[in-house]
Amino acid sequence: MIIYIHGFGSSGQGEKARLFRKRFAPSLIAPSLPVSPDLAIDSLRQIVERCMKYEPVALVGSSLGGYYGQYLSKLYGVKLVAINPVTDPGILHRHIGKNSMFYDKTVYEYTPEHFKQLQRYKARAESENLFLFLQKDDETLDYRVALEAYPEAKKVLTSGGGHAFTGIEEYFEQIRKFSCKIT
């Protein structure tokens, strides 16, 4: 089972989630997570633990989802494909206040408490369990931060897709192989 973890302001109905669902269904879950990091992690832990009872699990996390994925990968020892991941949660401080969801433009508040919660989940995945997908022209995150955090990890480094990593579907076969028994 692949668990797709969306980024900040996104949802399980976003474009990347839709692409992953189209390719990996029925072996993919893409939940829409709450804004609260504590609630998001609690939800993800329940999903991971339930799925692990029945089959191998791999994670795919984009941006903030990559940050959550690092924590979960470390906690459960599962594979993580991290697409332009947040590795330093401090970057999200600038989003305190009102924001809009990308999928449906719903306005929500990202509070100082949310930012404080986020700090609790800083973890480093084991390099052998990590496959980084980074874009040099990411307008949101500096790709070099993830490279410095994970110099030993398997990686794809390209240009031309920005933070959204346009064209990720070109790498689905590599992602499938890395995720092992996940089809």
Mean pLDDT, residues 109-115:
95
Domain boundaries, the chain: 2-178
Q: What is the pLDDT of residues 77-89, one digit of tens each?
A: 999 999 999 999 9
Q: Considering only CA atoms, which of 68, 75, 81, 111 is closest in space to residue 180?
A: 81
- At the top level of CATH, which class does the domain 2-178 belong to? alpha beta
For residue range 19-52, list pLDDT tens digits in order: 999 999 999 999 999 999 999 999 999 999 999 9
Distance CA(6)–CA(178), nearest Å, equals 19
Residue 170 has a pLDDT of 95
Q: Give CA–CA dist 5/27, Å, rounded.
A: 14
Confidence band for 183, pLDDT divided at 50, 70 and 90: very low
- For residue 48, count other CB atoms closer than 10 A to its CB: 19
Question: Residue 133's beta-bridge partner residues?
Answer: 83, 156
The answer to whether residue 182 scores a pLDDT higher than 60 is no
Given a cut of 80, is residue 180 above it in pLDDT? no
Name the residue among 169, 79, 162 with its Cα closest to residue 125: 79
Q: Which residue has the tokens 């990590």?
A: 130
Give the contacts of 1 (CB within 8 A, at least 6 positions apart). Answer: 27, 28, 29, 51, 54, 55, 56, 57, 58, 182
Residue 20, C-beta contacts closer than 8 angstroms, at least 6 positions apart? 2, 4, 28, 30, 60
Find the distance separating the first CA and the last CA of the chain, reported in whole Å: 8
Mean pLDDT of 172-177: 95
| Per-residue pLDDT, 168 | 94
| pLDDT reading at 144 higher than 80 | yes
